């Protein structure tokens, strides 16, 4: 979807299914001011628990730790071979503790999380293959991550190619979920989208162009993993929910996963978001109807690449200048346009195809699909998309739907603060396990099933 914003009135920046990796080659001793990139990977405790360590784009002094319960923590350099993650009184889901390591050649790290004893966590063996590949005239930077343990068992693991959200940061070397998937026997291919990280080209949100890049990534993943993997699919999240189905048509893959995506146009998504946010603030149909008048005009401005229609929008806005709900409008671009921030709105959504027909693309697919939603998604309200998916299921499409209650965009759990704002905590329990088990064609674990509102059977 168009880039989501973080402002006082906004609920949440898009969370994306970013992937990361580590290199097994030797590195020089890290400086105390930077966390060692060589530690990036998946680790297993003596009792079988999994935690991932990944880089954070823009924060070289830290590593992000994540586990299957959805909890995460930020470990910061505290000295030679030591990183600490502080407790967060406002976020009880935050992982906190102490991490120690003996250098890049070590096959384990010491971890002591708050309330637990220190343990040595062994790094899982993964086959990492870095690559450069072409999408048209643009060279992209990518990486294949394969779980060696499943290959040793004689199994051919499924492989998914990440389809980016609207983020403008690198994906390679900056992730956690791919390593969680690798610990469950799922291979992945991740690449820096054009205009980010080590990839060439110019950053864009042109779905057609991005789908071409994903199709090229599928070809490269097939080439690098030939003979070692089984089914190959796509996993697209947030804005990737528009791009992944289109790429699936182009690349002819075996399955599709979409998380917190939209089946509708980007203009509809803005309108749904505005309505959801106003309803959450307690406004009724009278205000919603007035807001629809404004979002319809704002949609015309967006569809013109923000070149035409502003005078009409501002005249309509002025009719409601004295009404308190007007200042509450946010959405993807409507709030900005109503404040006259035209250039900001344009810059946040470069080359978006505003009337993109997502439903027409999905009708072309005949592969198994899993769609995962946040019941309380304030960025991409899920109800309209679920209704359209149910219609597709009714026509015979092989689609499974999962909805996690008390979660927002990114399948993040939250608590409601006294002022009505949301405090974001962890990924919903069972979310990552659901993804791994579905892609691996395994039964859904009870902890994931208990955390979901609904998981209709396949037709």
Q: Of 162, 169, 141, 142, which Cα lies nearest the Cα of 3?
A: 169
Tell me, what's the pLDDT at 26? 33
Question: Contact 52/147 with Cβ under 8 angstroms?
Answer: no
**Strand spans (E) along 175-222:** 187-191
Per domain, the residue ranges of the chain are 37-123, 126-262+356-451, 266-348
Question: Contact 238/380 with Cβ under 8 angstroms?
Answer: yes
Strands 138-147 and 126-135, sheet pairing: antiparallel
Give percent of the chain above pLDDT 70.
88
User: 380-431: per-residue pLDDT in tens?
Assistant: 999 999 999 999 999 999 999 999 999 999 999 998 888 888 989 999 988 9
**Alpha-carbon span 309 to 303, nearest angstrom:** 10
**What is 259-293 written as a DSSP string?**
ES--SS-HHHHHHHHHHHHHHHTT--HHHHHHHHH
The total of other beta-carbon atoms located within 10 Å of residue 343's CB is 10
What is the pLDDT averaged over residues 219-231? 96
The highest-confidence range among 11-25, 166-180, 334-348, by mean pLDDT, is: 334-348
Confidence band for 450, pLDDT divided at 50, 70 and 90: low
DSSP 454: B
CATH topology of domain 37-123: Lipocalin (2.40.128)
User: 76-97: per-residue pLDDT in tens?
Assistant: 999 889 999 999 888 888 999 9
**Alpha-carbon span 54 to 245, nearest angstrom:** 28
What is the pLDDT averaged over residues 233-262? 97
The total of other beta-carbon atoms located within 10 Å of residue 325's CB is 16
Tell me, what's the pLDDT at 33? 57
Tell me, what's the pLDDT at 154? 65
What is the pLDDT averaged over residues 93-116? 90
Helix axes 266-280, 285-303, angle to 10 degrees: 150
Confidence band for 24, pLDDT divided at 50, 70 and 90: very low
Q: For tokens 């580590």, name the residue.
A: 22
Secondary structure of residue 149 in the 3-state scheme: helix
Phi, psi (rounded to 5 degrees) for 141: -100, 125
The fourth-level CATH superfamily of domain 126-262+356-451 is Alpha/Beta hydrolase fold, catalytic domain (3.40.50.1820)
């Amino acid at each position: 979807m168009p880039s989501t914003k973080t402002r006082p009135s906004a609920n949440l920046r898009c969370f994306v299914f970013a992937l990361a990796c580590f290199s097994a080659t030797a590195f020089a001793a890290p400086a105390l001011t930077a966390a060692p990139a060589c530690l990036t990977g998946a680790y297993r405790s003596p009792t079988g628990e999994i935690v991932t360590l990944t880089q954070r784009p823009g924060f070289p002094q830290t590593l992000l730790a994540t586990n299957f319960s959805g909890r995460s923590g930020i470990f910061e350099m505290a000295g030679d071979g030591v990183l600490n993650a502080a407790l967060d009184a406002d976020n009880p889901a935050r992982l906190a503790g102490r991490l120690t390591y003996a250098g890049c050649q070590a096959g384990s790290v010491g971890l002591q999380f708050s309330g637990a004893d220190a343990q040595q966590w062994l790094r899982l063996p993964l086959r990492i293959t870095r690559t450069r590949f072409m999408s048209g005239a643009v060279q992209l930077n990518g990486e294949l991550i394969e779980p060696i343990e499943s290959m040793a068992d004689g199994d051919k693991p499924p492989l998914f190619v990440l389809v980016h959200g609207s983020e403008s940061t690198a994906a390679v070397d900056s992730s956690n979920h791919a390593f969680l998937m690798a610990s469950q026997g799922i291979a992945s291919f991740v690449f820096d989208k054009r205009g980010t990280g080590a990839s060439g080209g110019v950053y864009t949100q042109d779905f057609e162009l991005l789908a071409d890049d994903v199709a090229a990534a599928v070809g490269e993943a097939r080439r690098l993993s030939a003979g070692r993997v089984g089914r190959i699919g796509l996993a697209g999240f947030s804005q990737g929910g528009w791009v992944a189905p289109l790429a699936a048509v182009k690349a002819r893959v075996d399955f599709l996963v979409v998380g917190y995506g939209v089946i509708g146009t980007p203009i509809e998504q803005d309108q749904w978001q505005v309505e959801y946010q106003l309803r959450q603030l307690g406004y009724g149909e009278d205000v919603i109807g007035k807001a629809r008048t404004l979002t319809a005009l704002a949609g015309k401005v967006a569809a013109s690449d923000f070149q035409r229609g502003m005078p009409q929008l501002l005249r309509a806005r002025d009719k409601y200048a004295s009404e308190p709900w007007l200042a509450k409008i946010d959405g993807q671009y409507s709030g900005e346009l109503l404040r006259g921030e035209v250039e900001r709105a344009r810059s946040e959504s470069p080359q978006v195809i505003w009337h993109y027909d997502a439903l027409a693309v999905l009708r072309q697919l005949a592969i198994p699909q899993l769609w995962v939603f946040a019941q309380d998604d304030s960025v991409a309200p899920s109800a309209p998309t679920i209704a359209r998916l149910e219609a597709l299921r009714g026509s015979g499409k092989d689609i499974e739907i999962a909805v996690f209650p008390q979660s927002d965009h990114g399948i993040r759990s939250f608590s409601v603060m006294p002022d009505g704002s949301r405090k974001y905590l962890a990924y919903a329990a069972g979310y990552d396990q659901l993804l791994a088990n579905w892609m691996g064609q395994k039964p859904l674990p009870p902890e994931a099933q208990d955390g979901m509102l609904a998981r209709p059977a396949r037709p």
